[in-house]
Amino acid sequence: MYQALLDKNSQYEGVFIVGVRTTGIFCRPTCSARKPKYENVEFFPSTKDALANGYRACKICRPMKNYQSAPDWLVPLLKEVEAKPEKKWKDFELSLMGYSPSRVRRYFNKTHGITFQTYLRMSRINGAFLKIREGQTVTKSAFEQGYDSLSGFSETFKNITGFTPGMEGQIITINRIATPLGPMMIGVTDEGLCLLEFTDRKMLETQIERLKKRMRSEMVTGQHPMIDKVSEQLNEYFEGRRKEFDVKMVVPGTEFQQKVWDALNKIPYGVTRSYKQQANVVGDVKAVRAVARANGENRISIIIPCHRIIGSDGSIVGYGGGIHRKQWLLKHEFENN
């Protein structure tokens, strides 16, 4: 595949997508951009996989679909999206432009295996993550990719934060870790784990912003012993060799949220509870909706096992990481219990 990339071999179009680690961009095999070194690339079977692993579409070869080969009705929208990568396109805006949101959604599903909104969301997150990785890093400036409350990557981390030992606030080290259910974004401080979410979760941007505000923290991409420890224990969990996690956690939240998350931590491996049962454990059987809301605001997936909460009728509902992942996790624990 690397040789095909060097040769711009068109016979490999549709066979693989290449991600360039040094730029955070993914390309077609025939891309005309300068070729990266072999140690700086990784290959994916689809654009969906490249997006899920943190890469953004190349503007030279346009792997999300060349304008020339895209249907005529979609070309103007693709140009608008490329010109405004930070924009959050709403269905009503598409309708005002003369597009059928369902038609756009079907096209992206058929061509790339993801919806149009999922593509936009992942592109924004990946763009912000790339800038964090480049070192111009603070949460309040990381998400210029369409997040109005954050300013933009205009200075280096040191110049913007001005953090020195003894000052209020702290640094959250973030990175991505691979799991059998897809890549996850992890955030840690010296005190413990504070973020563990699947990178395609809809609420990820909101969770990061809330975490930043609650911890008065800044973010920088890097390595940390806690990341290695969490990654190791997650691998053991997915291999069926670990039922309890032994990692320190930092979970800022309201008093009620703390009660809900603490109750989640006490649900044994392989056991499920209903939202009503969880409300009873928390101490207010009438607070089912509040419990469900706090459950959804959990920022540490799997380790704080919100996936063990199910509907009163036994149905598998309400999981930010996706119902398919919740089903997998419950089946995995049942079979290894």
The DSSP string of 201-266 is -TTHHHHHHHHHHHHTEEEEE---HHHHHHHHHHHHHHTT--SS----B-----HHHHHHHHHHHT
pLDDT at 170: 65
Phi and psi angles of residue 277, each rounded to the nearest 5 degrees, phi first? -65, -40
Q: Predicted confidence band at 227 (pLDDT cuts at 50, 70, 90)?
A: very high
Q: Predicted confidence band at 219 (pLDDT cuts at 50, 70, 90)?
A: confident
* Domains, the chain, with CATH or none: 2-119 (3.40.10.10), 135-238 (no CATH), 255-336 (1.10.10.10)
Say if strands 217-221 and 56-57 run parallel, antiparallel, or are unpaired.
unpaired
Q: Predicted confidence band at 66 (pLDDT cuts at 50, 70, 90)?
A: low
Highest mean pLDDT among 175-179, 215-219, 289-293: 289-293
pTM across the whole model: 0.61
Is residue 306 flagged as an active site residue? yes
Average of per-residue pLDDT across 223-233: 91
CA distances from 222 to 124, 156, 205, 215, 298 (A): 20, 15, 19, 19, 23
pLDDT at 298: 93
Share of the chain above pLDDT 90, in %: 33
